[in-house]
């Protein structure tokens, strides 16, 4: 994510403690293992700090485990979440790690032929009335938006392009140093 954001001209950094949130204009909640992420967010205090900023409208791109943290309800197995996004998700809903796969979004999606990398990906089972579906795969939502909160079941940072990050964060003002 940092590499893609830098390509777009943003001044991207990694966040691990609450004080690092001061002064940022947007946040990516990356993939990983959402159960572990919940523990780390609680231990570091970053969960509470993020909750305050996100509820105040901080732009967010949540991918995969990040989407699971953000969901209103998490199933299979159930797990606590922050309810930043009005969706119900099922974890690991395409199968185990070996069933991870690449695909292309349905052609009628807003992003055209968006490449999709799924890694032990969740599925979005239901979306609330404020949630807009931006891309689908086999008819199911894979990229959604609720206000300034965007979330993907796939990994847009791994497909060698930056359309999703650009849609969420725009382009930075920095230009090349040459």
Tally of residues, the chain: 178
DSSP assignments along 52-77, one per residue:
HHHHTT--EEEETHHHHHHEEEEETT
Alpha helices (runs of H) in the chain, residue ranges in sequence order: 2-7, 34-44, 46-55, 65-70, 163-169
Q: How many residues bind ligand GLN (CB under 6 A)?
A: 11
Beta carbon of residue 127, minimum distance to ligand GLN (angstroms, whole number): 19
Q: Could you say whether residue 1 binds ligand GLN (CB under 6 A)?
A: no
65 binds ligand GLN per the rule CB under 6 A:
yes
Interface pick for ligand GLN out of 75, 92, 127, 159 (rule CB under 6 A): 92
Among 12-20, 62-70, 140-148, 167-175, which window interacts with ligand GLN (CB under 6 A)? 62-70
Residue 175 burial (10 A CB sphere; 0-12, 13-18, 19+): exposed
Residue span 17-36 as binding mask against ligand GLN, x where in contact by CB under 6 A, dash where not: --------------xxxx--
Q: How many CA atoms lie within 13 A of 85 on its CB side?
A: 34
Q: Does the protein bind ligand GLN through residue 73 (CB under 6 A)? A: no
Q: Which residues bind ligand GLN (CB under 6 A)?
A: 31-34, 64-65, 68, 91-92, 119-120
């Amino acid at each position: 994510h940092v590499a893609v954001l830098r390509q777009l001209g943003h001044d991207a950094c990694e966040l691990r403690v609450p004080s690092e949130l001061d002064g940022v204009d947007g946040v990516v909640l990356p993939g990983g293992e959402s159960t572990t992420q919940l523990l780390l967010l609680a231990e570091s205090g970053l969960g509470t700090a993020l909750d305050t900023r996100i509820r105040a409208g901080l732009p967010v791109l949540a991918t995969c485990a990040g989407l699971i943290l953000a969901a209103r309800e998490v199933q299979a197995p159930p797990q606590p979440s922050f309810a930043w996004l009005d969706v119900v998700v099922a974890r690991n809903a395409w199968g185990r790690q070996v069933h991870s796969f690449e695909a292309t979004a349905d052609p009628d999606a807003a992003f055209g032929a968006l490449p999709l990398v799924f890694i032990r990906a969740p599925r979005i089972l239901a979306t609330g009335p404020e949630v807009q579906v931006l891309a689908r795969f086999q008819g199911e939502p894979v990229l959604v938006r609720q206000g300034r909160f965007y979330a993907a079941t796939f990994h847009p940072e791994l497909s060698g392009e930056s359309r999703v990050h650009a849609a969420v964060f725009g382009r930075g003002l920095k230009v090349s140093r040459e």
